[in-house]
Amino acid sequence: MSDNNKTLNPWGSLLPDDIVTNIFLRLPIKSIIICTSVSKKWKSLILDPKFNFISTHLHHSYNNNNHNLHLFSLDSQKTEDNKEIYVLYNEDDTDFTRHASFDIPLHGSELDPLNKILHVVGTCNGLLCLSDYSLETDRIFLWNPCVGKYLRLPSPNVTYATHGVFKGSLGFGFDPETNDYKVVRVVSLPITPNLPTLQHKVEVYSLSTGQWRMLSDSLVPTCVVYGILTQSSVNGAMHWLVSRTANDNQFDHFGLVFDLHNEVFREILLPELPAYTRQRSTLCASVSTYRNSIALFHNDHNSLCLDIWVMKDYGVVSSWMKALSLPLRKNIMRAVGFCRNGHIVLELDGGQLISWDVETQEIKDFGIIGYNFVDAYVESLVLLDKTTDNTITY
Amino acid sequence: MKFCTVKQYFDDENNNNVTNGIATTVIPLPNKHLKIKANNKEMEQYEQELLRNVMPQELTKLILAANYLNFKEALDFFCRTVANAIQNKSVDYVRKFFGLESDFEPGEEEKLCKEFAWSFEGVDED
């Protein structure tokens, strides 16, 4: 191979770093990874944190409007070998052909002897947070399907082994100020002979430290948060829809917000929903992300409408605005989120998923029936530079 | 602005980076670019032509020239051309394209290849 290189003329090394980076940014992820093996310099340009390439690549992905992707986790019962698979679709395709599909290699392995289903907690910047939500096995993973790497989180401080039965919830988000990914676990320990009052505990895992840290008791929210909740991670905060038992034994519903940077909780009031009732702890609603703010999907069973509310000015309660109202009778079951191109993803009767363009009224069928998770997605290289013991490349 | 830099370049006799040959390719580019800016198909054809007729070595020099002349559109175009040329190609192909040699310690490279084995699969034949 080097016979014709008698006079070593490495013209490639004449290219300044920023131009080499410019070229990398235009490559598909697989090719970027191949470039890490070309030379030490190239490996360093891509993986060394001082060059910040992973962040640059992420911004480039977000700004690439030709590549709006949507991620679906398909129901394992409907796939060929009864495993969950994750598929990516390009939102702008005229016929939704599959852009890529991934299978997480955890089934039947040492990490998953019982073959438990992993649920998606949330997705952020190309990373997925998964958990089996099981008291006994209690596993949590961070996974980037695009680079084929996953990492298992260490055991939280509060577990079934240490504290007995508990109810809890997980959240996943990104702190843009420290460029760090965090997983939040909120648990409620039930009243027992040893524990006379209901106790809430919160701990936060940070990818940069690789460890869990308990939040001080004074900072813990006083509402019960449990189950697999829909979440919205935006503006450096995580948002859940929760309820709290009020003094009159009815329920108050609100948005619970966890500031990922300062690691404190705060509350956001919901819009004034028509026919709002405080009699039930659950609300037929879910939160979602819309542009740089939050949205609320509410199924109003009185008027039989699906109402889509958007908080126009993030954080300003008076800016909640009913953006859209869709009749529930036309087979529409619920809204599940927004595409990056602004279209709405709806679930129809029977589990069929479609995207709906509000302006043109155009409907596109994803051709998917039966899903566990769906959200907008962006390809990234996050985790590529992680080389700790519990990071697995497959 | 672009043409001031070009004039300054020619006046700068110490500059050896760009030969006359390259200058004749880069200088007409603004005109060509303006003419066919809206027409993607023609740009694609021009890109194919470039890749066929111009050695990677020359392409690198074109990039350096465009960079020196601060000609962003040309720079983006050439970078895109290079990216398309090395997309989905093997490590060896990419090295050959840029005239680079592996400077990894023995074993270091094998480790990398093993770690990301899946991304080395399905690449185009060299």
> Which residues in A lie closer than 8 A to residue B119 (C-beta atoms)?
29-30, 33-34, 148
Same domain, B80 and B96: no
| Closest CA in chain A for residue B98 | A12
Q: What is the pLDDT of residue B44?
A: 73
**Which position has the token pair 């039947």?**
A108
**Interchain pair B98, A11: CB under 8 A:** yes
A26 → chain B, closest CA residue = B83
Cβ atoms of A163 and A169 closer than 8 Å = no
Closest CA to A378 of A70, A41, A35, A40: A70
User: Which of B119, B123, B126 would you mutate first to test chain A, the one with the most A CBs within 10 A?
Assistant: B119
| Candidates A11, A22, A34; nearest CB to B99 | A11
Q: Give pLDDT, residue A5.
A: 43
Nearest CA in chain B to A384: B116
- Do the Cβ atoms of B98 and A22 come within 8 Å? no
Same domain, B124 and B80: no
Q: Write the CB contacts of B18 (distance below 8 Å, at least 6 apart in sequence).
A: B9, B26, B61, B64, B65, B68
Same domain, B72 and B96: no
As given in the structure block, the two tokens for residue B78 are: 């050439």
In this prediction, residue A52 carries a pLDDT of: 93
| Spatial distance between the Cα atoms of A9 and B98, rounded to a whole number of angstroms | 9
Q: Cβ separation of B104 and A10 shorter than 8 Å?
A: no
Q: How far apart are CA B72 and CA B91, in angstroms?
A: 28
* B54 half-sphere exposure, CB direction, 13 A CA radius: 22
**Residue B27 pLDDT > 60, yes or no?**
no
B125 with B77, same domain: the answer is no
**Residues of A whose CB is below 8 A from B101:** 2, 5, 8, 10, 39
| Cβ–Cβ under 8 Å, residues A72 and A377 | no
Confidence of residue B12 (pLDDT cuts 50, 70, 90): very low
Task: Name the residue range of residue B68's domain.
Answer: 1-87
Q: Which residues of B touch A19 (CB under 8 A)?
A: 63, 67, 75, 79
Check whether residue B72 and residue B118 sit in a common domain.
no
**Looking at the structure, do residues B106 and B60 belong to the same domain, yes or no?**
no
**Residue contact A38–B99, C-beta within 8 A:** no
**How many residues in total does chain A contain?**
394
Q: Same domain for B94 and B70?
A: no
Retrieve residue A225's tokens. Answer: 């948060």
- pTM beyond 0.90: the answer is no
Is the same domain home to B93 and B82? no
Residue A19: closest C-alpha in chain B: B79
| Model ipTM over 0.95 | no
Q: Which amino acid is at A111?
A: L
A78 within 8 A of A370, measured Cβ to Cβ: yes
Does the beta carbon of A23 lie under 8 angstroms from any beta carbon of chain B?
yes
Q: Is B116 on the interface with A (CB under 8 A)?
A: yes
Rounded distance, CA A245 to CA A242, Å? 10
Which pLDDT score is estimated for B39? 58
A291: left (phi over 0), alpha (psi -120 to 50) or beta: left
| Residue pLDDT, tens place only, B31-81 | 555 444 445 677 777 777 777 777 777 777 788 888 888 888 888 888 888
Question: Is the domain of B42 the same as that of B6?
Answer: yes
Q: Are residues B97 and B45 in the same domain?
A: no
∠ at Cα A87 (A83, A88), nearest 5°? 170
Residues B26 and B81 in one domain: yes
Give the domain CATH number at B77.
3.30.710.10
Q: What local confidence, expressed as pLDDT, does residue B3 receive?
A: 46
**Number of helical H runs and strand E runs in chain A:** 5, 25
Q: Do B75 and A16 touch (CB under 8 A)?
A: no
Whole-angstrom distance, CA of residue A173 vs CA of residue A158: 20
Q: How far apart are CA A164 and CA A192, in angstroms?
A: 10
- 3-class SS of residue A112: coil
B57·A11 Cβ contact <8 A: yes
Instruction: Name the strand (E) or helix (H) holding A60.
Output: helix A53-63
- Asked if B67 and A12 come within 8 Å (Cβ–Cβ), the reply is no
Q: Are residues B51 and B103 in the same domain?
A: no
pLDDT on residue A46 = 95
pLDDT score for B107: 85
Q: How many structural domains compose chain B?
A: 2
One digit per residue, the tens of pLDDT, for chain A of length 394 reads 444 444 455 677 888 999 999 999 999 999 999 999 999 999 999 999 999 999 999 999 988 877 788 888 887 665 666 667 888 888 877 777 778 888 777 665 666 666 678 889 999 999 999 998 888 888 999 999 999 899 999 999 999 999 888 888 999 999 999 999 999 999 988 888 877 788 899 999 999 999 999 999 889 888 878 888 889 999 999 999 998 888 898 999 999 999 999 999 999 999 999 888 898 888 889 999 998 899 999 998 888 899 999 999 999 999 999 998 988 877 888 899 998 888 899 999 888 899 888 888 888 888 888 788 889 999 999 999 887 666 787 7
Q: Using the 8-state DSSP alphabet, how is residue B124 labeled?
A: P
Q: Which of B87, B90, B92 sits opposite A28 (nearest CB)?
A: B87
Instruction: Mark which residues 68-87 of B lie under 8 Å from A by CB.
Output: 75-76, 79-80, 82-84, 86-87
Residue A118 CA to residue A217 CA, distance in Å, equals: 30
